[in-house]
Structure 1
Amino acid sequence: MITHLDRVRPHVLGLFRIVIGLLFTCHGIASLFGALGRAPEPAGAWPGWYAAVVQLAGGVLVALGTGTRTAAFLGSGSMAFAYFDVHQRAALLPIENGGEAAVLFCWTLLLLVFTGPGTLSAARLLPGRRASDERPEHHLGVPV
């Protein structure tokens, strides 16, 4: 069973990346355009509008699997900033201050920084890319 799980790991990681990217994109769309039941952030307003731009652009890049590590790193940092600057002012724990989404996005995106895009990524369609370029062991130097 473990052998089978190891074989499908890159595909599950790819699906995980796509779902996280799409969810992050939805937050950006909602905040920038006032969609999905949210009021839009005023253009140029700090930090909300800039966070929404990072969510939209970063979410699309993560979902597509191109520039995954960089986009995930920026998204993770923006969510850490959101948690400590906005949510933690209200209370210490995420369950008390409404910061669960920020914490979850921060840590899931940070995970993608270290694992890479997995399979099913647009980066694999680019000329000169090899499948080994996207395997975690290629970047981390350790077998998985």
Structure 2
Amino acid sequence: MFDSLAVTWAPRLLSVLRIVAAIIFMLHGTQKILGFPAPPGSGLPAMMTIYWWAGMLELVGGALLLVGLLTRPVAFILAGEMAFAYFMGHAPRNFYPVLNGGDASILYCFVFLYISAAGPGPWSLDAAMRRRV
């Protein structure tokens, strides 16, 4: 019984994981780039700085993941961004992720790495384009 449920629901829940992760991830980009829902405490980053590029990756990459377009390469790039964010911004503060604020970066990194390997799931533009061919 559970095997048949898994066959039916695992691909759909992969799509749900991708969509929910993308929405939450995009909020980091909208905060950095658009100041929404509130600007960062340090203010909006200057254009072309590392923080600005991170916001652009989060905003644009998150939007692409949300709709499931170019999912595998985008998720791989975002996993790399999160690894970079962790080791450059969080790890120097403290060894323990719960103390250095990097636990979300680690989680995003591995969720995106999984999505880059597993694909977007059936509810995506990538899957829709594959069905049309």
Question: TM exceeds 0.5?
Answer: yes
1:76 and 2:79 matched: yes
CA–CA distance in structure 1, aligned partners of residues 127 and 76 of structure 2: 20
1:96 and 2:88 matched: no
1:105 and 2:105 matched: no
Look up the equivalent residue of 1:37 and give its one-letter code.
A
Deviation at 1:38, TM superposition (A): 2.6
For 2:62, the equivalent position in structure 1 comes to 59
1:123 and 2:126 matched: yes
Deviation at 1:23, TM superposition (A): 1.2
Q: Aligned to 1:41, which of 32, 41, 45?
A: 45
CA–CA distance in structure 2, aligned partners of residues 96 and 38 of structure 1: 23
Partner SS for 1:120: coil
Q: Which is worse superposed, 103-112 or 1-10?
A: 1-10
For 1:26, the equivalent position in structure 2 comes to 27
For 1:139, the equivalent position in structure 2 comes to none
In structure 2, runs of 5+ residues without a counterpart are none
Partner SS for 1:42: coil
CA–CA distance in structure 1, aligned partners of residues 90 and 63 of structure 2: 25
CA–CA distance in structure 2, aligned partners of residues 89 and 114 of structure 1: 29
Matched-pair contact (CA < 8 Å) for 1:66–1:123: yes
Look up the equivalent residue of 2:21 and give its one-letter code.
I
Higher relative contact order (CA 8 A, sep 6+): 2
Deviation at 1:89, TM superposition (A): 0.7
CA–CA distance in structure 1, aligned partners of residues 127 and 7 of structure 2: 20
Q: TM-score, normalised by structure 2?
A: 0.90
Matched-pair contact (CA < 8 Å) for 1:34–1:41: no
Deviation at 1:111, TM superposition (A): 0.6
CA–CA distance in structure 1, aligned partners of residues 27 and 58 of structure 2: 8
CA–CA distance in structure 2, aligned partners of residues 85 and 124 of structure 1: 35
**Corresponding residue pairs, total:** 129
- CA RMSD, Structure 1 to Structure 2 (Å): 1.6
CA–CA distance in structure 2, aligned partners of residues 23 and 42 of structure 1: 23
Identity %: 33
